[in-house]
Amino acid sequence: MPPLLAAVWWWIRTPLDRHTRATWVAIGCAWGLATGLRYQVGLAAVGFASAVLFTHRKAAIPALVSVTASALAVFSLTQISDLWVWGEPFAQLRAYFGYNTEQAGNYPQGPVYQYLLTLAGLLLPPFSLLLLLAGVRGWRKWAVVVWPALLFLLFHSVFPNKQERFILPVVPLLVVAGMAGLGNFTEIRWKRRLWQASWVLNVLALIVLTPATFKRSRLEAMDLLHDFGNVENFLAVQVDSGALPPQFYWGKWTRYWTTDGSTDPAEDKATMCASERPFPDAILFYGDRHLGAAVERYKALYPSMSYAGQAPPGKLDLLMNFLNPVNSVERVLVYRVDPGVECSGE
């Protein structure tokens, strides 16, 4: 966000005829750095260049040549890490596009208008609707601000893999465009009422959500292991979900064991007993409807297995799951086992 905003600000703060070559180089460096940090920002740079050509015609060509050259130079410098790690430049860039081309359909999908709904909720509703409308209405006057954001959003709206974090780089541009465009609305009374309503709703949400904990069961399960004090390692059995245990709350970064049910538990146990890594002295079952069957299956294999506690899902997690089932919710059952008994060979 900072280099992207810097590039746009350095362009609009003075008229084109007062720009210097140093200004153009600085703008290009900012675009190159922003693109190196997030490849898709290159689309916003294309939108920026198109807007400059639209507003200044031929007079902008020398500036865009300098901007493009410096942007490509700085973007190339961001590939030094690839030379160091992989021995060749642009290795991550090729892998990134190759992976997303093949795997895009395996990630969260959504309708074309999904990001519009995301932005409407993110930017202080209901005032956000007016803000977005004001930004779009300024597509001509504030082209260098609006066009980069719109092209960036258009690509992500069409691309099948939709995750909210993808659109964050251009949110500040949308806010700037919206606030600049609000002057075109003369209906001061209802504009002010929408703004007031937004503050009321968001202050209420702030009071509720600030102390809230999401994915509560995952946190409390790790906290329970921390309270035991003598857990050297654990086995995470993913029954109905693919939860990642937040080890920070356990207080250890030991490489834990995990299984998703695709392997034979008896073979897993033999592998763990033969490994140099600590054998788990706790088994955590993550899931919902099929937890009981999974526990019984492991009890038959682990004679020392005893119930130690559980971490239920939080109310907000249940609400989020109700609103969108893509948000997984799980209960975590915690059992203790004795490594000495389990790996004794008896």
Q: Which strand (E) or helix (H) includes residue 299? A: helix 291-299
Look at residue 312 and give its three-state secondary structure: coil
- Do 272 and 326 lie in one domain? The reply is yes
Q: 168, 194, 211: which is the final residue of a domain?
A: 211
Average model confidence (pLDDT) across the chain: 87
- Do 40 and 116 lie in one domain? The reply is no
Least confident of 252-256, 298-302, 326-330: 326-330
In this predicted structure, the answer to whether residue 101 has a pLDDT above a threshold of 80 is: no
pLDDT band per the 50, 70, 90 thresholds, residue 120: confident
* Lookup: tokens for 78: 């961001």
**pLDDT the model gives residue 322:** 84
- Do 102 and 112 lie in one domain? The reply is no
The number of distinct structural domains making up the chain is 3
Sequence letter at residue 166: F
Q: 144, 177, 211: which is the final residue of a domain?
A: 211
pLDDT tens string 174-210? 888 888 877 766 655 677 777 788 888 889 888 988 8
* 178 φ, ψ (degrees, to nearest 5): -65, -45
Q: Are 284 and 237 in contact (CB under 8 A)?
A: yes
**pLDDT the model gives residue 248:** 94
The pTM of the full predicted model, rounded to 2 decimals, is 0.67
- Do 325 and 223 lie in one domain? The reply is yes
Distance CA 341, CA 168 (A): 51
- Do 224 and 197 lie in one domain? The reply is no
- Do 225 and 337 lie in one domain? The reply is yes
In this predicted structure, the answer to whether residue 346 has a pLDDT above a threshold of 60 is: no
pLDDT band per the 50, 70, 90 thresholds, residue 68: very high
pLDDT band per the 50, 70, 90 thresholds, residue 45: very high
**pLDDT the model gives residue 159:** 83
- Do 96 and 34 lie in one domain? The reply is yes
Range of the domain at 293: 216-342
**pLDDT the model gives residue 123:** 80
Distance CA 214, CA 198 (A): 24
**pLDDT the model gives residue 187:** 58
**pLDDT the model gives residue 232:** 93
For the segment 58-74, the average pLDDT, to the nearest whole number, is 92
* 220 φ, ψ (degrees, to nearest 5): -70, -30
- Do 182 and 274 lie in one domain? The reply is no
Sequence-separated (6 or more) residues with CB below 8 Å from residue 210:
none
Sequence letter at residue 219: L
Query: Among candidates 51, 73, 232, which has minimal Cα distance to 145?
Result: 51
In this predicted structure, the answer to whether residue 104 has a pLDDT above a threshold of 80 is: no
Pairing of strands 235-238, 331-336: unpaired
**pLDDT the model gives residue 182:** 77
pLDDT tens string 218-247? 999 999 999 998 899 999 999 987 788 999
In this predicted structure, the answer to whether residue 84 has a pLDDT above a threshold of 90 is: no
pLDDT tens string 258-312? 998 788 899 999 999 999 999 999 999 998 888 889 999 999 999 999 999 999 9
Read out DSSP for 96-150? HHHHHHHHGGGS----TTHHHHHHHHHS-TTHHHHHHHHHHHTTTTTHHHHHHHH
- Do 114 and 92 lie in one domain? The reply is no
- Do 197 and 275 lie in one domain? The reply is no
- Do 221 and 337 lie in one domain? The reply is yes
- Do 244 and 336 lie in one domain? The reply is yes
Q: 211, 240, 262: which is the final residue of a domain?
A: 211
